[in-house]
Every structure is written in structure tokens, then in C-alpha cells.
Structure 1
């Protein structure tokens, strides 16, 4: 997760959106995304916007959105946008704010119990759940326990994190105690990114329970000069969840995000590999480019996956 510049949309982008609109003439999530792409009112689709397409249901895939995508807004403002686009899962982010009217509150384990109930109820009213939570987990067991307690209070099934290798014996016990999976996230190759390569993820998974695995960020793999399909093959059996991301340039750490299928991540091949492996779970869009056309570009990401799933499930 890192900030990037925000270039304006162009005619080529509008052509991509028109083409995406042609591909998503179905109900549920596809219809919600299509309405957004067309610039029409979403009112007629809100009742079914949280429904997944037949293809996604058949594959066992659930569409989520990482809050970082809409980081310009506190979660209480971002969540209605996610719901309108048709997402059913929010992946909370431990360093982002909760509510503009409640300054200082952040979406993490520091939230008081009553605020956790408020948050869960607010999401439920929009047809959303927080099945994934991106947390700050290290070697401090008391702190890690607080993160897992927060995740459990919100109903999360997976904590996404980048813990140091020394933490995994302790974390293996916590995943069993709380019944919550731990998914190791990868950032682009750098001295600070210890899990940029799948072999590093597999190393800390070795000898651990099946509750520990990977949160696969395909865009960051491409930024690191790695083939995302080969990375997925390496991680077979350890894939817990996913950050859907495509980027414009290969092997460039600062490469900007583009809608799925328009970059270098070979996204049809990525989805085909997930299907081949029989993956079932949450696929979260994390669109890091804070575009002037952010909602439309996120809708294009939805359109690409829904169309692929309906054609290939």
C-alpha cells in the first residue's frame, strides 16, 4: 500500500469503460458496476447490488474491497460507495480512520467494544461484512491477541498481515485459538519487504497449520518483476485470500494501478489459475491509484472479473 500520483482520465480510458459496459449486461454485481460505468442512477440496482453473479457463486468467490482503495474517505464514508458498487466484503485497514464525525477513531483493535458493535451494525445495514482485516501483527503476543480479538468481534475470518518470522510459532497458536486464518501479504521487492517473493512466504508457512497462508497481491508481484501465475502455482494449497491488482509496467516498483485486464498481470491467466486450483474465498480489489475517476475504474475491475467468471465458471 503506497500513494501514487493521480493523472487525469483520457479518451482511451473512456473507450475501456464503454467496452467494459458492453460486457456486463447481467444482474447483481455486474448490473451495479454497469450502472456506475454508464453514469446512470444506481437506485434500480441497489436491491441486488450485493448479489454475486452466477459465475462467481459457482466458483465460490466472494468480492471484497480493501478500504485502502477509498482511503480518501473514512470507512463510514467509503462503505456506502463499496456497497453501491456491489461489494459484499470490506477489508478493514488498521491505519485508516473510521468516521469524520468521530476524530481520532481508527479501524483497529483500539476501538472500544461499543464502537466495534456500531461498526459491525453500520456495515450490516449496507449489506457488508468485514470478513478480512488488514492488521498490524508483530512478535508481541498481547498486542497480536488484541488484533485477533478485534477481528473476531467484527466477524472476520482472516487477518491479513506481514509478521516477522519470529512471530509465527505464537501466531500459529492464536489462529487455532480464535479460529481465524492468517494471510501473509506481499509488498514490492525492497529491503523492507520480506515477503515479496512466494518462497519467503512458504518458508514461514513450513511446519505451520493450514490456517497460515498467503494474501496474494498480484500487482506487487508484477512490480517486483515476478510472473503472477507462476507465483500462484508456487503457493498452491497456501492461498488464503487475494488482493486483486493490475499495474501498467513490469518490474517497476512505483508502477501505477490500472483496471484489471489492462496491465501486465495477465489477469485472465491469473483467474484461470485460481479456478484450476479450486480456490474459494474472498477476492478483494485494492486499487492504489487514487484516480480522479476512482469509482469508475474500480467498477471496471468488477466488470472484468464478473465477465470472466460468467464465461469460464
Structure 2
């Protein structure tokens, strides 16, 4: 009997085979040809935490099968202490798989300002212009100065009702609204919903300070809610996508899938297909 997982995996193989007929979309992009992805307003990525149980090679193989081309880099794939040679090798491996590392994090930096300094140095050496971070509130002015000096945007991540620092988008916006414009949000829409907030209204409210989105759905708008496949939760994803278009969101939408984390491919693939379908339907 064919399970939902094997059905999705077979479908992915078919899609991948069709997409790779002749030359790949990635090869077209690099050779100056038109690329379907370049016409899609929303650049779909994967938040590195989705692959916490997998090495880089396994993670990139899954991304290739799903035809997803952006990765928010976690330090278990590229440690903060990496040498320049190790960073170069990392980027080459991503490029060979048609993937771009667009940001680093989330990085926790609650012990000392040295952690903040190291994070900005790391981001500069990695060559990204966005850090997703979790700092102490009293360090935000210091971080704003660093963001300005490095010209790197800093996005605070909200983690829901269990998070005493940043439970939702509003809690972050109120702290950064008067700081340098490089200070903003990595908007975790699922955790925002779990804290009883409205992710669609908050996307519209805080559009100018949302630099990154952790794209997910959840089973309930309560603390007990958990991550589920994108089309199966309580967040109205078609309406969320319409609002993305309405506000002109230009950042990445990175899937963070915290269900079946030791076997995430089927769930992630379902999310990818659903999001692309909804995006195409609303274009």
C-alpha cells in the first residue's frame, strides 16, 4: 500500500525529472537565460534548523529534490569559528547544488557583547547581509550601532508564548521601531499565532521592519499548537500570500518545519508544493 510519504516522494521525483530535462533551471540562471524562479516574487528558502539532524550534504540533497534554492545558514552546518577556507568550501558546495546562503542564524547572543561582535564578524566573513538573532534587550542599542557600522541587517526572532524576551512580532517592533532602520524582525508567523496574535495583520502592520519570514503553519492558536504542514493548520496561507503581495514583501520566505524532524522530506515537500501552488494561484 502506498503511503502519503511515498506518494509525495514519487511525485517529487517526477517533478525533478521534468524540471531537469535538457538543462537545469540553475544553469539557465547562471548563463543569462530566463529562469522561472526569477519571475516569482517570493523566493522560497529553508531555515537551516529544519535540518538539525542532517549534515550539509544530506540537507542539500533534500533541497535539490524539492527545487528550493535559498538557505538560512545554521552554525551546525557552518560553525562560527570557520576559517575563510572553510567558508569558501561551504559556499562552493552550496553553489554546486544550486543553493545560495542568504543569511545566518538564528544565533543566540545573551551571554556577552563578545557573542554579538563574533556574530557580526562571522556574517561579514560568510558574506551575507542579514543576521537572525536572539539577544538581550539591553544590548539592542549596541547591536544597532554594529548593524550600521557593518551595514548588515539584524532580525530578531520571535519564539512564541514560552519566550520571555520576544514572544511575538509586536514585542520586537516596539523595541526596534526607534532604532536604526537595519534593526527588524525575522517573523516567525507560526509562533506569532501560538501567542494568540494575527500573523496576517502583523505582516501588514510591521511590513517595513520584516526582513525575513519563517514560513510555517500550526495546529492551534494557543501555546499547545505545533508545527504542521503548510496547508493543514489554522493560519490562512492563501490570505497570507495575498498580504505578502499587497505589502510588496521582497525578503525570503523560509520554511521552518519542526514536525518529523528526523524524517522531514515528505512534510517539507508538501509545504513547498502547497506554497508554490498558492503563490501561482494568487499571482
The TM-score normalised by the length of structure 2 is 0.86
Distance 2:9 2:16 in 1: 6
Partner of 2:218: 247
Shift of 1:290: 1.8
Partner of 1:170: 142
User: CA RMSD for the aligned pairs?
Assistant: 2.7
Q: Alignment length, in residue pairs? A: 273
Secondary structure (helix, strand or coil) at the match of 1:84 reads helix
Tell me whether 1:77 sits opposite 2:47 in the alignment: no
Residues 129 and 154 of structure 1: is their aligned pair in 2 closer, same or farther, counting only changes over 3 Å? farther
Partner of 1:184: 156
- Which range moves more in the overlay, 39-48 or 192-201? 39-48
Residues 42 and 53 of structure 1: is their aligned pair in 2 closer, same or farther, counting only changes over 3 Å? same
Q: How does 1:31-110 map to 2 (within 5 A)?
A: 37-40=11-14, 42-46=16-20, 47-48=24-25, 54=36, 57-58=38-39, 60-94=41-75, 96=76, 98=77, 107-110=78-81
Secondary structure (helix, strand or coil) at the match of 1:109 reads coil
Q: How does 1:1-313 map to 2 (within 5 A)?
A: 37-40=11-14, 42-46=16-20, 47-48=24-25, 54=36, 57-58=38-39, 60-94=41-75, 96=76, 98=77, 107-134=78-105, 135-138=107-110, 140-190=112-162, 192-253=163-224, 255-290=225-260, 294-313=264-283
Q: What CA deviation, in whole Å up to 9, does each residue of 1:213-256 have, x standing for no partner?
A: 11111111222222211222331211111000101222133x33
Q: What CA deviation, in whole Å up to 9, does each residue of 1:278-310 have, x standing for no partner?
A: 110111000001267621221111112211222
Q: Is the 8 A contact 1:35 1:42 kept in 2?
A: no
Secondary structure (helix, strand or coil) at the match of 1:90 reads strand
Secondary structure (helix, strand or coil) at the match of 1:83 reads helix
Specify every segment of 5 or more residues in structure 1 that has no aligned partner in the other structure, as ranges: 1-9, 19-33, 99-106
Q: Is the 8 A contact 2:109 2:134 kept in 1?
A: yes
Distance 2:71 2:195 in 1: 26
Distance 2:65 2:125 in 1: 25
Shift of 1:177: 2.0
Secondary structure (helix, strand or coil) at the match of 1:150 reads helix
Secondary structure (helix, strand or coil) at the match of 2:25 reads coil
Greater relative contact order (Cα 8 A, min sep 6): structure 1 or 2? 1
Distance 2:144 2:12 in 1: 47
